[in-house]
Amino acid sequence: DTEVTQTPKHLVMGMTNKKSLKCEQHMGHRAMYWYKQKAKKPPELMFVYSYEKLSINESVPSRFSPECPNSSLLNLHLHALQPEDSALYLCASSPSGGANYGYTFGSGTRLTVV
Amino acid sequence: QQQVKQSPQSLIVQKGGISIINCAYENTAFDYFPWYQQFPGKGPALLIAIRPDVSEKKEGRFTISFNKSAKQFSLHIMDSQPGDSATYFCAASNTADSWGKLQFGAGTQVVVTP
């Protein structure tokens, strides 16, 4: 299995809703990442988990809450989002915490906040 | 401040032609330079990568040229095909950074006409 699977593929939520994005990989990778990508822009790093511990939080607002229940799963909990948070949310993993080992990205969750 | 500058923003090339995308960086600590290909609705996929100890790397129709003294690198797509139509991102990282943080360029949208 060489994939990073993200669910759901599409999500529409209101500004008062609570929802979660899920990411799963079974490649034995020990580093997992959340990226946010706006249209026609490069991915922006949000969070890095290394060996299931949060290693980097790129000053992301608290309405985004990551969770890494085990080495294969990564969640992103969403609460009280704003319309400007609408974007493609990408999960990625790598064998360890080094980009030179090669990231594998999922296909993303297209989030629309209304 | 973008640490990796990418040009052009967009590119139209005829089938069979050569697509050339250029990137420049300032941080001399960068020592890993990947290129990612992204199709609409998909996550980025690693295409090819180079380290500064080589000046060129070729994989099929894709070639990276690297100029360490100029702090520039470029992607050449030979014999461009309509299936190559995608957005291409250059990136750079410091492999001493154990969290695997990638700095992306702004992206180049390539359209290959039949």
pLDDT band at A18 (very low <50, low <70, confident <90, very high): very high
Q: Mean pLDDT throughout A6-25?
A: 96
- Arithmetic mean of pLDDT over chain A: 92
- Note the pLDDT tens digit of each residue in A60-86: 999 999 999 999 999 999 999 999 999
pLDDT band at B47 (very low <50, low <70, confident <90, very high): very high
Closest-CA distance, B94 to chain A, in angstroms, reads: 8
Phi-psi sector, A92: left (phi>0), alpha (psi -120 to 50), beta: beta
- Note the pLDDT tens digit of each residue in A35-58: 999 999 999 999 999 889 998 888
Q: Mean pLDDT throughout A30-34?
A: 92
pLDDT band at A98 (very low <50, low <70, confident <90, very high): low
Mutation for A interface: B9, B42, B87, B99, most A CBs within 10 A:
B99
Burial annotation A42-64 (CB, 10 A radius, 16+ → b, else e):
bbebbbbbbebeebbeeebeeeb
**Nearest CB neighbour to A105, from listed B41, B45, B100:** B45
Angstrom distance (rounded) from CA A42 to CA B32: 18
pLDDT at A97: 61
pLDDT at A58: 84
Nearest alpha carbon to residue B78 among B56, B90, B63, B57: B63
Q: Mean pLDDT throughout B61-75?
A: 96
**Cα A31 → chain centroid:** 12
**Could you give the percent of chain A with pLDDT greater than 70?**
94
pLDDT at B81: 97
B83 CB near a chain A CB, below 8 Å? Answer: no
Angstrom distance (rounded) from CA A106 to CA A2: 10
Phi-psi sector, A107: left (phi>0), alpha (psi -120 to 50), beta: alpha
Q: Which residues pair with A71 in a beta bridge?
A: none
pLDDT at B59: 95
DSSP state letter for B101: P
Residues in chain A closer than 8 A to B44 (CB atoms): 43, 90, 103, 105
Residues 6+ apart with CB under 8 A from A33: A45, A46, A47, A48, A49, A91, A92, A93, A94, A103, B100
Is residue A22 within 8 Å of residue A90, measured between CB atoms?
Answer: no
pLDDT band at A100 (very low <50, low <70, confident <90, very high): low
Task: Return phi, psi of residue A84, to 5°.
Answer: -70, -10
Query: Do the Cβ atoms of B99 and A55 come within 8 Å?
Result: yes
Angstrom distance (rounded) from CA B97 to CA B106: 22
